[in-house]
Amino acid sequence: MSDSQEHSVTGGILARFLSLPVDSLPRTLFMAVALCLFCSMIVALAAVNLKPMQSYNKLLDKKINILQVAGLYSDGVDVEKVFSSFEPKIVEISTGKFTDKYDPSLFDDRSAASDPELSVALDEDPALIGRKPKFATVYLLKGSGGELDKIILPIYGYGLWSTLYGFIALEKNGNDIFGLQFYEHAETPGLGAEVDNPSWRQQWRGKSLRDENGNLMISVAKTSSNKKFHIDSLAGATLTSRGVDNLVKFWMGDAGFGRFLENLKVGEA
Ligand SMILES: Cc1cc2nc3c(=O)[nH]c(=O)nc-3n(C[C@H](O)[C@H](O)[C@H](O)COP(=O)(O)O)c2cc1C
């Protein structure tokens, strides 16, 4: 078939199609398919173009959370400037020492936690996280003279409905708590989500992880004999509170950052 014959066949099909009534089945189907294709193209374009902005906002949100747990956030604060007083470092959890193996600005803690190369399956898993990362990013807050002021450690574990992700801020002795904050969870508003209530969070300030003999004492419970290590459970949310108790004990204990905090104390991190 010659070019001109091909054109006249195509033109004929198009003319027959256009002569059909607008509400005919072929024209309705054609419009529906064309509309679907157009919309999916718009969605795909938006997803691709917004990806860098999403990554930037995610990183900014993480920095704000770190500032908040360290008590350095207020409305209008220059997040990047204040965040520059933190030194992010990668810690090898098993040795409790800093490592230069990975660049802290590129290391993705969340994906490392599920990467078979960068994590280990847990036999004992009180925080219900399945796998433990081999490395974690910690943030050292430095004073104006470069001296250590606070240590911010990532923590996470299962509550009642969801994994709670957050940070704990410790004073430079690695034992006294400055603050605790979760930045992601799906516990019930008014019940488990009260972990975000400032008055509940306020309780953590000034509490200690370990006693003078090095025993891990911190506890989230309904009652306690020693206020120094005690955080009240949330009323009506015992299960979320138990999850927080488990995850804090896990990450502050020997399986978590226990060795790192010990090394930090004796200057061997
Ligand atoms: C719809 C619904 C949502 C709930 N959400 C939570 C929750 O997020 N965290 C939690 O610990 N308990 C939650 N609970 C309550 C628990 O089932 C359980 O009763 C509670 O943890 C017991 O706490 P209490 O001993 O302080 O009363 C929820 C209950 C219902 C019916």
DSSP string, 40-58: HHHHHHHHHHHHHHHHHHH
**74 band by pLDDT with thresholds 50, 70 and 90:** very high
What is the distance between the alpha carbons of residues 2 and 9, in angstroms, rounded to a whole number? Answer: 11
Buried b (16+ CB within 10 A) or exposed e, 97-116: ebeeeeebeebebeebbeee
Atom of ligand 1 nearest to the CA of 222: 26
Chain segment 142-158, per-residue pLDDT in tens: 998 889 999 999 999 99
pLDDT at 195: 98
**26 band by pLDDT with thresholds 50, 70 and 90:** confident
- For range 51-57, the mean pLDDT: 88
Give 76: exposed, middle or buried? Use CB within 10 Å, 0-12, 13-18, 19+.
exposed
Taking alpha carbons only, the member of 158, 109, 151 closest to residue 133 is 109
Q: Measured in angstroms, how far is the CA atom of residue 240 from the centroid of ligand 1?
A: 8
- Among protein residues, the one whose CA lies closest to atom 16 of ligand 1: 237
**Own/partner pairs for 125-129, CB < 8 Å, 24+ apart?**
126/157, 126/246, 126/247, 126/249, 126/250, 127/156, 127/157, 127/158, 127/243, 127/246, 127/247, 127/250, 127/251, 128/157, 128/158, 128/163, 128/243, 128/246, 129/156, 129/157, 129/158, 129/163, 129/247, 129/250
What is the distance between the alpha carbons of residues 216 and 24, in angstroms, rounded to a whole number? Answer: 75
- For range 169-198, the mean pLDDT: 97
pLDDT at 1: 63
Amino acid at the residue 166: G
Phi first, then psi: give them for residue 89, nearest 5 degrees: -135, 150
- For range 254-266, the mean pLDDT: 95
Mean of pLDDT over the chain: 94
What is the distance between the alpha carbons of residues 93 and 110, in angstroms, rounded to a whole number? Answer: 15
Taking alpha carbons only, the member of 70, 63, 204 closest to residue 150 is 70
Please give the C-alpha separations between residue 170 and each of 62, 177, 195, in angstroms, as whole numbers. Answer: 18, 5, 18
**258 band by pLDDT with thresholds 50, 70 and 90:** very high
Share of the chain above pLDDT 70, in %: 99
Across the strands, what pairs with 232? 221
Regarding the beta carbon of 192 and ligand 1, being less than 6 Å apart is answered yes
Does position 180 have pLDDT exceeding 70, yes or no?
A: yes
Q: Are 229 and 62 in contact (CB under 8 A)?
A: no
Task: Ligand 1 pocket test: pick from 158, 194, 239 the residue with the most ligand atoms within 8 Å of its Cβ.
Answer: 239
pLDDT at 9: 80
The structure tokens 């409305």 sit at 75
What is the pTM (predicted TM-score) of this model? 0.84
Q: Around Cβ 196, how many Cβ atoms within 10 Å?
A: 16
**7 band by pLDDT with thresholds 50, 70 and 90:** confident
- Reading the block at residue 104, the tokens are 């802290």
**Given its phi and psi angles, is residue 32 left (phi above 0), alpha (psi -120 to 50 degrees) or beta?**
alpha
Regarding the beta carbon of 194 and ligand 1, being less than 6 Å apart is answered no
Atom of ligand 1 nearest to the CA of 239: 11
Strands 148-158 and 135-142: antiparallel
Task: Ligand 1 pocket test: pick from 238, 246, 247 the residue with the most ligand atoms within 8 Å of its Cβ.
Answer: 238
Q: Measured in angstroms, how far is the CA atom of residue 31 from the centroid of ligand 1?
A: 50
Atom of ligand 1 nearest to the CA of 242: 11
